[in-house]
Amino acid sequence: MNVRWQSFGLDQEYRLLREKLIVGLLKKNFFNNNAYGEYHGYLLRFEASGWGKRTVRILDIEGKKVLGTIAFRYFPYAASIRYEDETYQWQYQPWSQSRWTVTQADEVATYEAGRGWTRGGTGTIDYEYLPPAVVLSGLYVRSYFRRRLWLAIIVLCMVPWLGLLL
């Protein structure tokens, strides 16, 4: 199955499209890692507890039932998505921040983002069969790492100004 995606507002919203029809959505809060989304009728909530935690819970839309977890790793960026007692591995393709995969045994979803400033907010997802919640989690993980990158850039830009103020 091939799905296109578009991101808006520093990756705060992702829309999944088949042709021109919106078939899914992921909305994140920029100030924390909480999000909610829908894809193929699966309504999910992603909830991070505490600042700097490396684990996010995947919940039903009401936030009452834990469906899985996402554990993040750094250097290199990677994550383990646990959903319905199955574990899926998220990782960037070697030497590329624009291609990543979610794999489990022989199941693979390949994500590709457009390159450059003008196309970086668009991309495709190609997969045969993965649970819709896992496909959505693949985008959530990317937005998690991109948010960390944006925050690092903001901090690095602020350091010279702080030196002037002190």
pLDDT of residue 164: 66
Query: DSSP label at 17?
Result: E
What pLDDT score was predicted for residue 17? Answer: 95
Q: What is the pLDDT of residues 7-38, one digit of tens each?
A: 887 778 999 999 889 999 999 887 788 999 99
Q: What is the 3-state secondary structure (H, E, C) of 32-97?
A: CCCEEEEECCEEEEEEECCCCCCEEEEEECCCCCEEEEEEEECCCCEEEEEECCEEEEEEECCCCC
Domain ranges of the chain: 2-165
> pLDDT of 40-77, one tens digit each?
999 999 998 766 668 999 999 998 999 999 999 888 88
Burial class (CB in 10 A: 0-12, 13-18, 19+), 157: exposed
- What pTM, to 2 d.p., does this model score? 0.85
pLDDT exceeds 90 at position 153: no
